[in-house]
């Protein structure tokens, strides 16, 4: 009889293979190879402060490095994707939700004696400062604009997830903010200090940086831009506080700050950091208000509309878009009006208000056909018939009309520049989803392969969500060869994106 026959594992009691000379089964033997977080990694004051502040990005980063473990190991311990862990440590993602927090801390092995730190009340001074900074009832002054953006930048950099901030602007609060922005009168923006002189040349250079980041976003996604944009925004805030400028230059400085804050908020949103994005956009709205440029106010409101129909209340999206159109009622800006109408339509579509959504889209198409107006801003270069048709397709998907959505996406696809990789991939992933929901498996799979070929090097949480939706639709047809091939390739791509 061979050695080992009939033996049981001394650890779990299951049979041990006759070819295994060990006293334990292979599963139990492998379990010892999984690294754990040593207790000493938790005995660090920085970790303790982070636990008390619910700053889980710092907790993960410090504990992992003190343990000498890779992000891959943390992934195995917690079940979070490696991409999420990387973005969390860099401040681009936040840990939201009770279950996610529990899974994270349980997986890392939080010692029982440190759990009471999670019950330490938030620092009231800092918490109140954040709440006050984003309170729409606070005066719409230049000083309040700087305070609001400073608080938002701090939240974006630190990955804060404060209950007080989340609660401060729920539902009616965001609507109040939108309406206040439309009616509050702008105040003087001037500073006479001994700091650096803010010249037109300097402002041109700062605006060029903002514009360059904007163009990079359309190509490569926002995941690589958020931190660079925050650093750029900090420079502008420093100039607002310490620079030397007159009233006219001050308003232009506020305008560049508003444009930069809008883009910074957008990069965080596209990266999945929704709370940080919202606070940055609210600060941007104050900066746009201080600049006196109604088009920038409309721009900030348009991104708040995206927040509303994507992760918030679609009614806020409708309110924001309508308010923005009222703000620019005296401007010759058909492209800007058309863009705002697509935001309004997306809100209506999420609310399943077919008639209102389709009416807004029809008006947007008519305005876009007029071409650019004298007052259309330079930063709205991307509005064209393809963008309008792409948004039309997204609305029709939300309205449950995949056949019509597929046709709209077909009309849209040729209008996008090959350089705008992220934007093109976004719309094509929705086009593939529309085709599959309409039952066109071959067409949907073909477009899906086209999308997967585009996304290498593009970092965007929104794109990841669209890819996941597309592959979920493909699963419905997994018995068909085209869908099966797409799913196999899609799994490889999604694993690479999460690595």
pLDDT of residue 139: 65
Q: Which residue has the tokens 């019509």?
A: 404
Structure confidence at residue 444 (pLDDT): 95
Angle at 204 between CA 203 and CA 210, to 5 degrees: 90
The CA distances from residue 231 to 150, 234, 238, 250, in Å, are 12, 5, 11, 20
pLDDT tens per residue across all 499 residues of the chain: 333 346 777 766 767 666 566 676 655 654 555 578 888 889 888 888 888 878 888 899 999 988 888 888 888 888 788 888 888 888 777 776 656 777 788 788 888 778 767 765 444 444 445 455 555 556 677 777 787 788 778 655 554 444 433 333 344 457 777 877 777 776 667 665 667 899 999 999 999 999 999 988 877 767 678 889 999 999 999 999 888 998 899 999 999 999 999 999 999 998 888 888 988 999 999 999 999 999 999 999 999 999 999 988 888 899 999 999 999 999 999 999 999 999 999 999 999 999 999 999 999 999 999 999 999 999 998 899 989 999 999 999 999 999 999 999 998 887 777 777 888 888 999 999 999 999 999 999 999 999 999 988 888 888 888 999 999 999 999 999 999 999 999 999 998 888 7
User: Where does 271-369 have alpha helices with state H?
Assistant: 274-291, 294-310, 314-327, 334-350, 354-369
Q: How far apart are CA 396 and CA 324, in angstroms?
A: 23
**Cβ-contact 356, 378 below 8 angstroms:** no
Burial of 109 (0-12, 13-18, 19+ CB in 10 A): middle
What is the token pair recorded at 96?
């939201």
Residue with tokens 């949480």: 461
- Tell me how far CA of residue 153 lies from CA of 148, 308, 386, in angstroms: 9, 21, 34
Torsion of CA 81, 86, 88, 91, to 10 degrees: -160
pTM here is: 0.70
**Quick one: residue 378, left, alpha or beta (phi over 0 = left, psi -120 to 50 = alpha)?**
alpha
CA angle centred on 298, ends 191 and 423, rounded to 5°? 115
Nearest CA among 32, 27, 33 for reference residue 15: 27
Tokens 């605006």 appear where? 207
Return the pLDDT at 95.
75
Tokens 């807004």 belong to residue? 360
pLDDT digits (tens, 9 = 90+) for 171-201: 445 777 787 777 777 666 766 566 789 999 9
Task: Give the percent of the chain with pLDDT over 90.
Answer: 46
pLDDT at 230: 93
Query: Tokens 């995206």 appear where?
Result: 306
Q: Which residues contact 409 (CB under 8 A, 6 or more apart)?
A: 389, 390, 393, 427, 428, 430, 431, 434
Q: What is the pLDDT of residue 34?
A: 55
């Amino acid at each position: 009889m061979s050695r080992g026959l009939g033996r049981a594992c001394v650890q779990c009691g299951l049979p041990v293979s006759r070819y295994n000379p060990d006293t334990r089964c292979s599963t139990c033997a492998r379990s010892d190879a999984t690294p754990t977080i040593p207790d000493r990694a938790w005995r660090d004051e920085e970790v303790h402060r982070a636990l008390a502040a619910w700053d889980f990005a710092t907790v993960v980063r410090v504990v992992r490095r003190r343990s000498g473990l890779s992000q891959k190991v943390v992934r195995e311990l917690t079940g979070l994707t490696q991409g999420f862990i990387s973005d969390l440590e860099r401040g681009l993602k936040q840990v939201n939700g009770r279950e996610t927090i529990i899974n994270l801390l349980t997986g890392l092995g939080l010692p029982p004696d440190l759990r009471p730190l999670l019950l330490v009340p938030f620092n009231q001074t800092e918490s109140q400062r954040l709440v006050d900074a984003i309170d729409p009832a606070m005066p719409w002054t230049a000083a309040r604009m700087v305070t609001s953006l400073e608080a938002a930048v701090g939240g974006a950099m630190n990955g804060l997830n404060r209950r007080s901030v989340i609660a401060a602007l729920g539902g009616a609060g965001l609507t109040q903010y939108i309406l206040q922005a439309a009616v509050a009168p702008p105040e003087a923006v001037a500073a006479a200090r001994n700091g650096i002189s803010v010249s037109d040349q300097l402002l041109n250079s700062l605006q060029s940086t903002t514009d360059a980041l904007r163009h990079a976003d359309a190509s490569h996604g926002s995941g690589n831009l958020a931190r660079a944009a925050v650093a750029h925004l900090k420079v502008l805030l420093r100039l607002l506080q310490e620079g030397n400028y007159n009233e006219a230059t001050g308003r232009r400085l506020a305008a560049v700050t508003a444009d930069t804050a809008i883009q910074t908020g957008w990069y965080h949103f596209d990266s999945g950091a929704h709370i940080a994005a919202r606070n940055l956009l609210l600060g941007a709205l104050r900066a746009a208000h201080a600049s006196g440029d109604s088009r920038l106010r409309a721009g900030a409101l348009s991104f708040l509309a995206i927040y509303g129909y994507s992760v918030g209340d679609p009614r806020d999206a409708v309110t924001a878009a309508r308010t923005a159109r009222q703000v620019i009622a005296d401007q010759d800006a058909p492209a800007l009006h058309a863009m705002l109408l697509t935001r309004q339509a997306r809100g209506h579509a999420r609310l399943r208000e077919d008639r209102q959504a389709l009416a807004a889209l029809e008006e947007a198409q008519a305005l876009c056909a007029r071409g650019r107006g004298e007052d259309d801003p330079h930063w709205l270069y991307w509005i064209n018939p393809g963008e309008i048709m792409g948004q039309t397709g997204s609305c029709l998907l939300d309205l449950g009309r995949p056949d019509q959505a597929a046709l709209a996406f077909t009309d849209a696809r040729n209008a996008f520049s090959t350089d705008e990789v992220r934007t093109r991939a976004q719309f094509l992933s929705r086009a593939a989803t529309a085709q599959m929901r309409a039952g066109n498996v071959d067409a949907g799979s073909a477009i899906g392969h086209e999308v997967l070929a585009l996304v290498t090097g593009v970092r965007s949480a929104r794109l990841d969500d669209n890819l996941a939706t597309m592959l979920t639709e493909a699963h419905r047809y997994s018995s068909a060869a085209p869908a099966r091939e797409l799913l196999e390739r899609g799994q490889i791509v999604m694993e690479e994106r999460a690595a």
